Structure 1
Amino acid sequence: MTDTPAPIDPGTFWRTLGARATGMIVVTAAGDAGPAGFLGLSAAHVTADPATMLVSIDAKTSALAAVLARRHFAVNILPAEAAHVADAFGGKSGLAGADRFVPAEWTTLATGAPVLSAALGVFDCVVDEIVTRGSISIVIGTVVAARSRGDGEPLVFFRGKVTTGLTGA
């Protein structure tokens, strides 16, 4: 019988994960109290046929209630010029709740979840399944609408810092 190794500490986990550059996203839903969303780094495709995405949502994130109640979410891939959106959803602007959604910057696709008009890409999803692991809900959804801008540079998170574009300028 082999002993299971002890898990690593959270600091080591986050430092190591930070070595992976990731495009910044905002996950949104239309909640009962208005639009809700959070700055996310954990979104991934599951399969292309049927088109399926997953997002990880911490239980303390207020947007989780909107996702669960309305059974939808949108994954908005942020462009380099949307650092102000990342700041708003990352708690750096002083805005909270629905105040982070500037009406002129948002629209909807199929589900009614808010969609950033300037997003590089958007996946609009209906919730299929929720898996709970600790304080995290892994929400899996079928993509019912998608849009890709076709140009622009991404807003990227790398080693604890936000960079604009692929060059890091």
Structure 2
Amino acid sequence: MSETPAVAAPAGIDPGTFWRTLGARATGMTVVTAMGPDGPTGFLGLSAAHVTADPATLLVSIDAKTSALASVLASRHFAVNYLPAEAAHVADAFGGKAGLSGADRFVPAEWTTLATGAPVLKAALGVFDCTVDDVVQRGSISIVIGTVAGAASRADGDPLVFFRGKTHAGLAPLG
């Protein structure tokens, strides 16, 4: 009878390696929004993902330092807005590059709502409007899981993509 070989526990990696490796994956840029007690709020959400189509469910990961977390938890809703190539100014505003914060990032003519009251970018390639079902804590991150209450999409347009720490408009070669 042979012995089962011992399996070593995987070694951890440092945060720099984690982010550099994750950055090798191109991802569509999103802005996650909510209507909080003090008005509209949001953040650049690079970790928004689908969970299942039946029932339609999404998740977003929100760092405890993100000011929008309190509004998402209080309002029990969020919208995931998929940014089009022409919305780099929106990504800059929510990514802290435009010198704006809070409700100042929401130009009223550019936003509307769907089912929950969360702000929805009119020019978004697609948007999912969700009600919060569950929140899972992992370190300093809240993984917020929501059921889709409304959705809309455009038939045209190119995505705004994040790759290796940079924003890329359209479907041009990344690099």
- Report the TM range for the smaller structure's normalisation: over 0.9
Offset of residue 150 of structure 1: 1.1
Match of 2:95 in 1: 90
Match status 1:141 vs 2:146: yes
Q: Aligned partners of 1:148 and 1:48: how far apart in 2?
A: 16
Give the counterpart letter for 1:61 in structure 2. T
Match of 1:61 in 2: 66
Give the counterpart letter for 1:72 in structure 2. H
CA gap 1:14/1:135 in 2 versus in 1, 3 angstroms: same
Offset of residue 27 of structure 1: 0.1
Match of 1:115 in 2: 120
Aligned counterpart for 1:159 among listed residues 161, 164, 173: 164
Match status 1:127 vs 2:127: no
Match of 1:23 in 2: 28
- Provide TM-score, normalisation by structure 1: 0.98
The number of residues matched between the two structures is: 169
- Provide TM-score, normalisation by structure 2: 0.94
Match of 2:3 in 1: none
Alignment of 1:3-22 (within 5 A): 3-22=8-27
* Aligned structure 1 segments of 4 or more residues deviating by more than 4 angstroms: none
Give the counterpart letter for 2:13 in structure 1. I
Unaligned 5+ residue runs, structure 2? 1-5
Q: Aligned partners of 1:69 and 1:3: how far apart in 2?
A: 43
Give the counterpart letter for 1:154 in structure 2. P
Instruction: Write the deviation string for residues 33-75 of structure 1: whole angstroms up to 9, x where unpaired.
Output: 1000000100110000000000000000000000000000000
Give the counterpart letter for 1:100 in structure 2. R
Moved more, 159-168 or 134-143: 159-168
Offset of residue 6 of structure 1: 2.1
Give the counterpart letter for 2:19 in structure 1. W
Give the counterpart letter for 2:75 in structure 1. R
CA RMSD of aligned residues (A): 1.0
* Percent sequence identity over aligned pairs: 81
Match status 1:102 vs 2:107: yes
Match status 1:37 vs 2:42: yes
Give the counterpart letter for 2:39 in structure 1. G
Offset of residue 168 of structure 1: 4.6
Match status 1:78 vs 2:83: yes
SS at match of 1:12: helix
Offset of residue 20 of structure 1: 0.4
